[in-house]
Amino acid sequence: MNSRDLLPMGEISSRSGFAASAIRYYEAEGLITAHRSAGGQRRFERGVLRRLAFIRAASNVGLTIEEIRDELARLPGNRTPTKADWHRISKHWRKRLDDQIAALQRLKGGLDNCIGCGCLSLRSCAFSNAGDWAAERGPGAQLLPDTLRRPHPVKRDSSS
């Protein structure tokens, strides 16, 4: 591979919109790969930009790092993914997106009354969560659909 075909970290960062620390994190997680220059600097193949775009979209859909890794593993390792490749793996998202859309629509419809937090601070909670029964199900907004209650991943510091 010609070194002119490899992009430095700064260009990958500016073109992808990801901070260099995020790119290092995704490399450490095995989602992207980099080559090293003679001086040890990271150099990336142009196809990494597509993978980073995929990572951003998948994150916005709500996929975890593990799920993103599984989806990227479906891509061919020896060539740049085609439109058909991306279509094939994005099919796995459709049900999740439909569930999220339905949950968000239910949330939107109930925002004026309650967001399912179980706080009993509103008069309507006496009806929807009488006796604070939701507290028995665990912490958090138990009346929210599960797709809206997934914990947010904690990002570790990848600069070390």
Over the stretch 17-68, which tens digit does the pLDDT of each residue have? 999 999 999 999 999 999 999 999 999 999 899 889 989 988 888 888 998 9
Residues 98-112: what's their mean pLDDT? 79
Residues 136-153: what's their mean pLDDT? 71
Residue 20 or residue 112, greater confidence: 20
Residues 104-119: what's their mean pLDDT? 69
Distance of alpha carbon 36 from alpha carbon 55, whole angstroms = 22
Q: What pLDDT sits at residue 145?
A: 72
Residue 108 or residue 125, greater confidence: 108
CATH topology of domain 3-81: Multidrug-efflux Transporter Regulator; Chain: A; Domain 2 (1.10.1660)
DSSP H/E element including 44: strand 42-45
Q: What pLDDT sits at residue 33?
A: 92
Q: What pLDDT sits at residue 52?
A: 93
Where in the sequence of the chain do the CATH 1.10.1660.10 domains occur? Answer: 3-81
Residues β-bridged to residue 43: 8, 35
